[in-house]
Structure 1
Amino acid sequence: MKILFVVSEVEDLVKTGGLADVGKALPLALSKMGHEVTIVMPYYKQLADKFDAPDYCDKQTLYSGHKSYEFAVKNLSLEGVQVLAVDYPEYFARKGLYSDDYHAYPDNAERFAFFASAALQASKAAGFQPDIVHCNDWHTALTPYFVSIEDTGFFDQAKTIFTIHNGAYQGTHRFSDIAYLQPHYQLHSQLDGDALNFVRMGIRYANKINAVSPNYAQELLTPLGSHHLFNEFQNRRHDVSGILNGCDYSQWDPINDPHIAKNYHHGDLTGKKACKAELQQELGLPKKVRIPIIGMVCRLTDQKGFGFILPMLDKLMQHDVQLAIIGTGDPEISQYLQKVADRYPKKLAFVEDFSVRKAHMIEAGSDFFLMPSLFEPCGLNQMYSLAYGTLPIVRAVGGLKDTVIDLAENPDMATGFVFEQPDSSALLSCIQRALLFYHEAPKELELTQQRAMQSRFTWEAAAKDYETLYLS
């Protein structure tokens, strides 16, 4: 099949989060299966600074109302996969992709409404007539709408897929502020007051809707988990499915990880002790091998469960445990963590920063990984943790539920610890179960670690499931 993969960021080119991981890994996996894939993305300033990409074709022009939008189509390649980048400096030659530090650009709706349309024009200019147009998250959610009204016949045979990576971000903006869409009078009936919700448009116009894990797809069909779009998902429930993201084990494997003190594998975990000692030294924690370390690497947001974590920290600190947290985000969360770290300097290390090296050190040197998310469409850190024999402590939501098997529920297949209720007492109780297991069952702990390390969630498997979805 010919697949046009429309996405706002791609790992190795430009990245702000997990969407970029999928933007690289899935097209590459589909290409290896023999499909012809072309990625379309914006030509951001960060991309232009790294790659002085040539023009693929003559300048293109789109018209909307009284305004014309002339843009170039840049030609790049990602491990053999063609990348077309929409170069419109007025919208994309900026400091950030979506924001200037913490402040989202006020014209994001205009920028990505234009991009959703320009992506199709780039495909036409390249003569790439797709069987599948695969769109990702709110930034590209209007592309299925533009396919539906395209009148040249170029996309008549194309089916559209809309993948929701995080349904909490919906691209809701005042329609009157989106200049590019003003001539589209048919959208007036789709508004909520004067607000246009991009994700709602993706759900309504795409042929198929999918989420990045089977359990998250089921949550989207419930009033509680639908991010206030319950009726939209229910109306399309027969077209909603979930496919679990893969994990890039070329970057996350303790056998050959260059960032950790000593490499190890599931047949010999002795190297993990050296990684633990290095982590303790790096973070200024007492170097005690028999004290369990719970690690956490994440954005400091309510989504990641800090509403449950912060209230129970003092109680957790009464246990024989060390807690290592690395991340940036909400200033109030970081200030609270720093105060607790100041009170318990031998038990809690908080680093308000992010580095690849420290993230790998946490995964390798910790005994447990904390990920008690309020919601988690797929999640990657629990997959990394499993690969490193660092047992995840997670809430039973989204992809966490799909990837971690609880010790109490199935001891013979267990790979971690899972709790249900979104509150501090349930989280603390789950952590206490993990600590008890660590201290009282060291042999079973090692067997569980070895089992976790042999879990695999590959992009090859995900790509096969997407191929099935494309053909459905």
Structure 2
Amino acid sequence: MAINPLSILFVASEVEGLIKSGGLADVAKALPQALDALGQDVRVTLPGYRKIKALEEAPIALETHLDHWPHTPYKVRQLAIGEVTVYAIECDHYFARNEMYSEYNQAYADNGERFSFFSAACLDMLPKLQFQPDIIHANDWHTGFVPYLLKHRYAEFPFFAHTKSIISIHNAVFKGVFSFDELPTLPEMQGRYAPDAAVSATHVTMLKAGVMTADKVNAVSPTYAEELKTELGSHGMAKEFRARAHDLVGILNGCDYSDWNPSTDDFLPEKYHAEMSSMLAGKAACKQGLQQRVGLPERDVAVYGMVCRLTSQKGVHYLLPILERFLKLDAQLVIVGTGDPILATQLAEIAACHSDKFAFVEAYSNELAHLVEAGSDFFLMPSEFEPCGLNQIYSMAYGTLPIVRAVGGLKDSVVDYDIAPESATGFAFINPEPIELLSVMQRSLLFYLQQKDEMERMQLYAMQQKFCWKEAAKEYLALYRSALN
């Protein structure tokens, strides 16, 4: 056991292994497990969505109602992720729906009400469960009212006298902007006066509520923490992040290699590990398997992969203007993803004209994502912004060199070959321009064609890099202790 272990409640809107839409879920599974392995008493809470398969069979740990108005009834069901206890807050009125946040690309109209109820219930349940956390770790806008209520509603409440709060920013573009009228579950909002949360006379943002009231603010990479203090990087909340600059700490996410490891990956036609002959044979077999799977000619050419949501954040709009020019070169490209239908249509049209070189698969496929990571030589992440990013870390684990824009966690995790050849793990460009992306793709292709031995050395070196949650968890523990002190 750890010396003086902390009690930690990790609050998130999704958790990998139970329900997931994005990278937040990966963190909400892996970080608590890493903290648990370090001997901390960590528990997780999330909404009890109907979609969680294990929910109905899970034992009821608590059946109660909010002590504060509007006294909404709810249940707490107890689940687990590995050794970590998970509390699912079940309230059919809010969470018995087909999806988590939206249907048919339309957010649920009462999302403000739903997640403010969830925030209130997270704190309401703790004395009733007799779990007294030292630290409550909130994540993104959905849980922004947790630090807010801890500071305002529970300021004089003896049970929480020694409890401190952290909020992690996984993506500040999503702020949870709602009118006071959309928050009927919080009596604190009925007076229409909430300077820590308000952005106008009529509206609040739940992210601001968390950032202005948490004891410490965390960003999911050191560079993203710096970017949040700028107008461009904060998407309009620079003033708030600058006000909290003294308490703002960036910690790079780890990677859960149990899912992303080419030596144990059942999705691959041939497994391989970080040894030269194994890597070369495995990647050759996976490249052939990928070409067969997506219908590209089975040729020994440079293959570029991309797996992402089709959004401008992921830099698809930098790729589209230069794509046909790139496809004149002797290389292949595979893109897998769903999202903006306009971007999907444009990619599909170009793929139809260049079917011998470019395959576009409009789907969310975990199996294909693994095959793209293993079968590609290069992996494209030309993001407009990227708080942390995980695919560049997965790519390195598979000996696939990431091509990134040097922002956020991409800058913190990928070393560009032109800057430091000996320790390089990929290629980077800075200016958000299509021509810059084309230039770095051409640079990588020349490297593949003209420096074969050096390319293979760099791939093997990339495979040997490790971004472990254990190290990140130690940094989080230090952050928690600084909040408590």
Bin for the TM-score computed over the shorter chain: over 0.9
Q: Distance in 2 between matches of 1:238 and 1:183?
A: 28
Work out which of the residue numbers 167, 179, 182 in structure 2 matches 1:177: 182
Matches within 5 A, 1:302-381: 302-381=312-391
Q: Using a 3 Å threshold, how does the CA distance of structure 1 residues 213 and 172 change in structure 2: closer, same or farther?
A: same
Q: C-alpha separation between the residues in 1 aligned to 2:282 and 2:81? A: 34
CA distance in 2: counterparts of 1:174 and 1:186, whole angstroms: 9
Pairwise CA RMSD of aligned residues? 1.2
Q: CA deviation at 1:183?
A: 4.2
Match of 1:27 in 2: 32
Whether the aligned pair in 2 keeps the contact of 1:2 and 1:132 (CA below 8 Å) is yes
Q: Which of 235, 238, 247 does residue 243 from structure 2 map onto?
A: 235
The letter for the 2-side match of 1:464 is: K
Question: What residue is the counterpart of 2:307 in the other structure?
Answer: 297
Q: Secondary structure at the match of 2:233?
A: coil
Letter in 2 for 1:107: D
What secondary structure, in the 3-state scheme, does the structure 1 residue paired with 2:66 have? strand
Structure 2 equivalent of residue 52 of structure 1: 57
Unaligned runs of 5+ in 2: 1-5
Q: Deviation string for 1:294-331 (max 9, x for gaps)? A: 00000000100011011111111111110000000000
The DSSP-based 3-state class of the residue aligned with 2:52 is: helix
1:61 Cα deviation after fit: 2.9
What is the rounded CA distance, in whole Å, between the counterparts of 2:80 and 2:399 in structure 1? 35
2: CA distance, partners of 1:321 / 1:43: 47
Which whole-Å deviations, capped at 9, do the CAs of 1:253-295 have from their partners, x for residues lacking one?
A: 1111111111112212211101001101111111011x10000
Query: SS at the partner of 2:208?
Result: helix
Correspondence for 1:154:
159
1:135 corresponding residue in structure 2: 138
CA contact (8 A) 2:134 2:162 kept: yes
Mapped contact 1:62–1:70 kept (Cα < 8 A): no
Residues 368 and 390, structure 1, Cα contact 8 Å, conserved in 2: yes
Alignment of 1:273 onto 2:284: yes
Q: Please state whether the residue corresponding to 1:275 is helix, strand or coil.
A: helix
- Match in the other structure for 1:18: 23
Contact kept in structure 1, 2:55 and 2:77, CA below 8 Å? no
Partner SS, residue 335 of structure 2:
strand
| Structural mapping, 1:4-153, within 5 Å | 4-47=9-52, 51-64=56-69, 67-148=70-151, 149-150=153-154, 151-153=156-158
2:114 is matched by which residue type in structure 1?
R
The AA in structure 2 aligned to 1:29 is A
What TM-score, normalized by structure 2, do the two folds share? 0.95
1:104-145, Cα deviation, whole Å (9 max, x unpaired): 001000100111110011222110001001000100011001
Matched residues in 2 for 1:16 and 1:276: separation? 28
Aligned to 1:420: 430
Specify the alignment match of 2:223 in structure 1.
215
Cα distance between partner residues in 1 of 2:67 and 2:307: 43
Q: Find 1:430's aligned residue among 440, 447, 465.
A: 440
**Contact residue 48 and residue 55 of structure 2 kept, 8 A:** no
The 3-state SS of whatever aligns with 1:225 is: helix
Distance verdict in 2 for CA 1:59–1:50, change over 3 Å: closer
1:261 is aligned to 269
Q: Secondary structure at the match of 1:445?
A: helix
Secondary structure at 2:453's aligned position in 1?
helix
**Contact between 1:141 and 1:198, CA under 8 Å: does it hold in 2?**
yes
Q: Give 3-state SS (helix, strand or coil) of 1:309's partner.
A: helix
Provide the C-alpha distance between the structure 1 equivalents of 2:104 and 2:423, rounded to a whole number of angstroms. 43
The TM-score, its normalising length taken from structure 1, stands at 0.97
* Aligned residue identity for 2:173: A
1:282 aligns with 2:293: yes
Counterpart of 1:278, as a letter, is G
Tell me the CA shift for residue 431 of structure 1.
0.4
The 8 Å contact of residues 116 and 143 in structure 1, kept in 2 or not, is answered as yes
CA distance in 2 between counterparts of 1:37 and 1:387 reads 28
User: What is the aligned residue count?
Assistant: 469
Q: Distance in 2 between matches of 1:61 and 1:222?
A: 39
User: Could you tell me how far 1:60 is from its partner in structure 2?
Assistant: 2.8
Q: Distance in 1 between matches of 2:53 and 2:158?
A: 33
State whether structure 2 residue 457 is matched by structure 1 residue 447. yes
SS of aligned partner of 1:47: coil
**Partners of 2:62 and 2:186 in 1: CA distance:** 26
Q: Which moved more, 1:79-88 or 1:415-424?
A: 79-88
CA contact (8 A) 1:176 1:182 kept: no
